[in-house]
Amino acid sequence: MLSQSDQLKSDGGYFYNPRPEMLKYIPDSARSILEVGCGEGSFVKTLKRKDREIWGVEIYSEAAEKAKEVCDFVLTGSFDAVFEQLPEKHFDCVIFNDVLEHMYAPWDVIMQVKSLLSDNGVVVSSIPNFRYISNLILEIVWKGEFRYKPEGGILDDTHIRFFTSKSIQRMYREQGYEFVLHEGIKPCKSWKEKLFIFLSFGILKDARFKQFATVAKVKK
């Protein structure tokens, strides 16, 4: 039987992916940073500075132990389980890299996070786009399938919630946030997919992005 960490490493390297495309969304001014679902700390490792305090929350104990080598503080367990151990109004940036889609009630989590943010704190998230062209056309329309997959991707079998650009924006707005930025990342590369999107006359313009990156702050 695979260990916890090995299991997730088999799922597309989820636990040790450094996510370089998300670095630009982290405010340079952030001094206290929390990553929910930090894995082994591969992403926050790139954020380490002498003037920064790095926290992590990780549900898998083996990965959490490795994250302790990188983070100043690591809490092991689900976000709900460790929430009360997190300091209020403390974090300049709270990060969810491909995490909210794994939660039963991500909107509740977004609401809870508001109490953890400093006055100018932001939430940064990356969330898979269910309308991504490869998923929407090849899997659902063309094959007529909705098959969960163990190897990662948008139809990963650990995903509980599915999002589009509009539903991501609605979730944040309904929980009292306003957007600093919301944009697509990881665009499709296949010329066939690009042609299909072009021929949709704008209907599928959001389908070329595999994920959406969001930076949001509490609406005053």
Statement: residue 1 has pLDDT above 60: no
At 137, the pLDDT band (50, 70, 90 cuts) reads low
**Rounded to 5, what percent of the chain is helix, strand, coil?**
35, 25, 40
Question: Can you give the pLDDT at residue 17?
Answer: 73
Stretch among 15-24, 160-169, 176-185 having the lowest mean pLDDT = 15-24
Average pLDDT, integer, range 1-26: 65
Task: Give domain limits for the chain.
Answer: 4-128+160-187+211-218
Q: Based on the number of CB atoms within 10 Å of its own CB, is 43 exposed (0-12), middle (13-18) or buried (19 or more)?
A: buried
pLDDT tens per residue across span 190-200: 766 776 666 66
Residue 148 confidence (pLDDT) above 90: no
| Residue 206: predicted pLDDT | 81
Answer whether residue 209 shows pLDDT above 90.
Answer: no
Average pLDDT over residues 80-96: 96
- Against a cut of 0.75, is the pTM above it? yes
**Partner residues linked to 179 by β-bridges:** 216
Q: What is the mean pLDDT of the chain?
A: 86
Please name the CATH architecture into which domain 4-128+160-187+211-218 falls: 3-Layer(aba) Sandwich (3.40)
